[in-house]
C-alpha cells in the first residue's frame, strides 16, 4: 500500500488561506462541544509526528502543541492504548503513570495557552508488525478481528520492505475494550478535556466495522449490528469515564490500510453506527470525506468507495456536533458552517507547517510555509525541532 507521503495520520492535502477578503466570521464564533465551549470552529486534527521517545511524551511535544493553541480544539496525535508494533516509530502511549505525567505537562501548558485538548485513543490492530521493537516488548501477537492480512504496509524501523502480516484473531474483544477504558482513565488523570476514538483509516475500530476485514461469526461480526458492536462498546466505556466529552473519527470511504466496502454496505454500516452512537450523547463526529491522498491502488483498481460522505451522513447526526475533515479550506468551511452543514472544520496538514493556522485565517494571511518533508517522520541527523517546532508564525 502506498504510505502517507509525509508520515502523519492525516491527509497531506494543503488547504488554502482566506486571502481574498474577510474570512469567515462563522469560523470564529464560539461552539459548545460536550461540556466545553470552544473559542473558534477551527480544530486541529490528530497528526502523528514521531517525537515520543520510548512512547513517552517529550518536552518538545509540549512546545509543539502550545504553538498551535490558537485552534478551538486540539486533538492529540494518535495515542496508543497498549504497546503495538506500528508503522510509526516514536508514537506515544498512555498506559502507565509515566505517560500520564508526561501528557499532564502538555495539557497544563495547552490550557494555560487558552485552548482545549482531546486525546485521540488508537489501536492499530492488523497494521502492526511482530518484529517492531514495541511489539516485541509487548509480548503479544498482532491482533485483529479476523486472521486476514491487509495488503501493503511499510515499516520504517525494520530492514527491507516487510508488509503486513496475517494477524491473530482477537479471542475476546472485551479485553481490548477494557484497555480502551484504562487509557481513557489515564487521559482523565493527564488533564485531557475529552477523548476521540480513532475509528478511521483502517485501524482496529474500522477493521471491526468493515465486512472485508471482519469475517467473524460470533456477536462481533457478520451483521451490521454485530460489526458495529465493538466500536459502540468502546464508546460506552469512554462515556463512562468522560461523560459527554467523547468524540469519534470515521472515514466511511475507506481506502487507506486496505479497508472499504461497496456503497450500500458502507451506508448501512455507518448510518447504523452513527445512529447508535448518537444515543450515547457523545460530543462530536469527525467525518473524513474522500480524498485521493488516502486512496490506494491494488491490482490496478482504487480501493476506496468514492461518494459524498457529508451529504450521506449529515441527516443521521442530530444531537452531536459534526466536524468535516480532508482538504477543507477556510472559505469552504465558512460556507459549510454558515449553512449549518457542519459545526466546525478540521485542519490537518497545514497545522504541521503553520503553528498559527487560526490566527492566519482570522487575519487573512496565506498558509504559505513550505513543508520540510525530510524531517516530518523522524529526526534523522537533525535536532527534533527541525521540521517540527521551527515553522515560523506570521502572527505574533
Q: Provide the annotated active-site residues.
A: 203
Is 89 in contact with 129 (CB distance < 8 Å)? Answer: no
CA distance 162 to 166: 12
Whether residue 106 contacts residue 61, with contact meaning beta carbons closer than 8 Å, is answered with yes
Q: Based on DSSP, count helices (H) and strands (E) in the chain, helices before strands.
A: 11, 14
Q: Say which residues have a Cβ less than 8 Å from residue 62's Cβ, sequence separation at least 6.
A: 105, 106, 109
Phi, psi of 173, deg, nearest 5: -60, -20
If one counts every other C-beta atom within 10 angstroms of the C-beta of residue 212, the result is 17
- Cβ count near 42 (within 10 Å): 26
Torsion of CA 249, 254, 260, 266, to 10 degrees: 60
First CA to last CA distance, the chain: 41
Which SS3 state, helix, strand or coil, does residue 215 take? coil
Collapse the DSSP code of 188 into the 3-class scheme (helix H, G, I; strand E, B; otherwise coil) and give the result: helix
Alpha-carbon span 153 to 31, nearest angstrom: 39
All three cell numbers of 277, joined, read 452512537
Cβ contacts of 25-28, under 8 Å, gap ≥ 24: 25/334, 26/334, 26/337, 26/338, 27/330, 27/333, 27/334, 27/337, 27/345, 27/361, 28/362
Query: CB atoms < 10 A from the CB of 149, how many?
Result: 18
- Rounded to 5 degrees, what angle do the CA atoms 247, 289, 302 make? 130
Given a contact cutoff of 8 angstroms between Cβ atoms, the answer to whether 216 and 210 are in contact is: no
**Geometric angle at alpha carbon 21, from 19 and 23, rounded to 5°:** 75
CA dist., res. 232 & res. 279, Å (int): 10
Amino acid at each position: 500500500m502506498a504510505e502517507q507521503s509525509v508520515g502523519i495520520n492525516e491527509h497531506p492535502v494543503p488547504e488554502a488561506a482566506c486571502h481574498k477578503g474577510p474570512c469567515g466570521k462563522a469560523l470564529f464564533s464560539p461552539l459548545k462541544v460536550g461540556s466545553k465551549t470552544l473559542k473558534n470552529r477551527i480544530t486541529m486534527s490528530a497528526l502523528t509526528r514521531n517525537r515520543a521517545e520510548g512512547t513517552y511524551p517529550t518536552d518538545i511535544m509540549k512546545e509543539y502543541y502550545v504553538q498551535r493553541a490558537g485552534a478551538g480544539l486540539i486533538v492529540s496525535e494518535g495515542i496508543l492504548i497498549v504497546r503495538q508494533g506500528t508503522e510509526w516509530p516514536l508514537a506515544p502511549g498512555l498506559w502507565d503513570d509515566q505517560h500520564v505525567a508526561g501528557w499532564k505537562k502538555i495539557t497544563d501548558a495547552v490550557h494555560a495557552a487558552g485552548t482545549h485538548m482531546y486525546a485521540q485513543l488508537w489501536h492499530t490492530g492488523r497494521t502492526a508488525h511482530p518484529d517492531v521493537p514495541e511489539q516485541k516488548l509487548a509480548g503479544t501477537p498482532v491482533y485483529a478481528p479476523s486472521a486476514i492480512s491487509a495488503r501493503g504496509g511499510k515499516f520504517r524501523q525494520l530492514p527491507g520492505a516487510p508488509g503486513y502480516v496475517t494477524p491473530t484473531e482477537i479471542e475476546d474483544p472485551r479485553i481490548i475494550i477494557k484497555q480502551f477504558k484504562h487509557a481513557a482513565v489515564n487521559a482523565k488523570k493527564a488533564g485531557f478535556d475529552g477523548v476521540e476514538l480513532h475509528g478511521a483509516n483502517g485501524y482496529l475500530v474500522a477493521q471491526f466495522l468493515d465486512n472485508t476485514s471482519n469475517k467473524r461469526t460470533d456477536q462481533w461480526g457478520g451483521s451490521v449490528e454485530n460489526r458495529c458492536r465493538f466500536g459502540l462498546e468502546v464508546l460506552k466505556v469512554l462515556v463512562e469515564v468522560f461523560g459527554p466529552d467523547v468524540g469519534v473519527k470515521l472515514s466511511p470511504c475507506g481506502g487507506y490500510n486496505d479497508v472499504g466496502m461497496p456503497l450500500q454496505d458502507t451506508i448501512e454500516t455507518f448510518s447504523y453506527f452513527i445512529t447508535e452512537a448518537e444515543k450515547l450523547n457523545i460530543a462530536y463526529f469527525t467525518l473524513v470525506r474522500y480524498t485521493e491522498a488516502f486512496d490506494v491502488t491494488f491490482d490496478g483498481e482504487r480501493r476506496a468507495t468514492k461518494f459524498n460522505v457529508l451529504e450521506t451522513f449529515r441527516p443521521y447526526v442530530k444531537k452531536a456536533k459534526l466536524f468535516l475533515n480532508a482538504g477543507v479550506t477556510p472559505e469552504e468551511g465558512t460556507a459549510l458552517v454558515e449553512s449549518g452543514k457542519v459545526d466546525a472544520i478540521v485542519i490537518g496538514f497545514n497545522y504541521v507547517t503553520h503553528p498559527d493556522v487560526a490566527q492566519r485565517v482570522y487575519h487573512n494571511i496565506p498558509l504559505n510555509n513550505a513543508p520540510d518533508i525530510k524531517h516530518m517522520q523522524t529526526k534523522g541527523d537533525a535536532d527534533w525541532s527541525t521540521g517540527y517546532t521551527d515553522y515560523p508564525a506570521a502572527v505574533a
